[in-house]
Amino acid sequence: MACVLAIETSCDETAVAVVKNRHCCSNVVASQIPVHQRYGGVVPEVASRTHVETINQAIAQALVEAQLDWEAIDGVAATCAPGLVGSLMVGLTAAKTLAMVHQKPFLGIHHLEGHIYATYLSEPELEPPFLCLLVSGGHTSLIYVKNCGDYEILGTTRDDAAGEAFDKVARLLHLGYPGGPAIDRLAREGNPKAFPLPEGKISLPSGGYHPYDSSFSGLKTAVLRLVQKLKQETSELPVKDIAASFQETVTRSLTKRAVTCALDYGLNTIAVGGGVAANSGLRKHLQTAGANHNLRIIFPPLKLCTDNAAMIGCAAADHLNQGHRSSMSLGVQSRLPITKVMELY
């Protein structure tokens, strides 16, 4: 039963957690949203500097909340890829230092694998194989989870990620940062059928469309043109209806692809991870479709959808239980396919 202290600093959240197997003993998240709101998005240099300022306090707080000392910790982990290089370096350096000082094994964890493991924290009895729909600001993927460290990407986005599309449309509608929660709130009060918007499709050379891949750039452009047209026709934009129509199109597209993929591969469980997993429209669509097709749909608690260290610790505990260790010479990478996870050990 491995107990791991884990650090997550891949973007703009300074997070530290203590996880024992699939139980979260503590989960500290120092959000940088107020810092970056003035810029309308994450500024990498500001993010890394803020990590430096807050990480020591977060580590101390995580240990206090877990009510554990270093003798109870079996390993130290940190996100090493993918992410902002400067931010990743802060967490990785802190984890390596702690591992050396306390003579503990060190593990570098893939950020996307962490999002998969967020589901295990709420469903500790879950075992592969299953399909993971991973939807966040930087990623939109359908991942066949075969085992710890063994993944196959079945579908992805050809352009914008789902979360990125939410942020860009929110900026277009002057809703501020982060855009996803703002659109979700307004969409609940709007008419999702007010404006028919195009669902992005990827054409196949042999004809027809790719059943699992997504595209959101065309949808984003369609919303832009809709807003430009409406501004010429009215003095007040129907923002709630635009938000609801946009969200309906995105969540319907994601649901259709995830369900089709699960059925085609004979998988009876879809686990959803990433920041967009908190979206109420996606939760509603997937739960309904799952019930219609006898599929089990699992969403993590809202606090585990966005970036956190508990999911990193859960993945690290599993790797540690299987004897995996990372080299102290391991570096950070801004990009690394999840199919190459085992190169970290």
How does pLDDT run across 213-252, given as a tens digit for each residue? 999 999 999 999 999 999 999 889 999 999 999 999 999 9
Q: Is the pLDDT of residue 328 over 90?
A: yes
Contact 299, 269 (CB under 8 A): no
Tokens 């993918």 correspond to 82
The burial of 72, by beta-carbon neighbours within 10 Å (0-12 exposed, 13-18 middle, 19 or more buried), is given as middle
Per-residue pLDDT tens digits for 12-26: 999 999 999 899 999
Give the closest residue to 70 by CA, choosing from 1, 5, 14, 7.
5
| pLDDT for res 34 | 85
Q: Give the pLDDT score at 208.
A: 87
Residue 303 carries which side chain, given as an amino acid letter? Answer: K
For range 69-80, the mean pLDDT: 97
Q: Residue 8 above 90 pLDDT? A: yes
Distances (CA, A) of 102 to 72, 99, 112, 309: 11, 5, 28, 20
- pTM for the model stands at 0.95
Question: In the chain, how long is the greatest CA-to-CA distance?
Answer: 68
Model confidence pLDDT, tens digit, residues 271-280: 999 999 999 9
Mean pLDDT confidence for 135-146: 94
**Residue 302 confidence class, pLDDT cut points 50, 70, 90:** very high
- Taking all residues of the chain, what is their mean pLDDT, rounded to a whole number? 96
- pLDDT above 70 covers a percentage of the chain that reads 100
* Mean pLDDT of the 132-137 span: 94
> Which pLDDT score is estimated for 180?
93
Domains of the chain, each with CATH number or no CATH: 3-119+305-344 (3.30.420.40), 127-303 (3.30.420.40)
DSSP 228-252: HHHHHH-SS--HHHHHHHHHHHHHH
Burial of 172 (0-12, 13-18, 19+ CB in 10 A): middle
The pLDDT value given to residue 39 = 84
Q: With a cut of 90, say whether residue 138 has pLDDT above it.
A: no
Confidence tier at 137 by pLDDT (50, 70, 90): confident
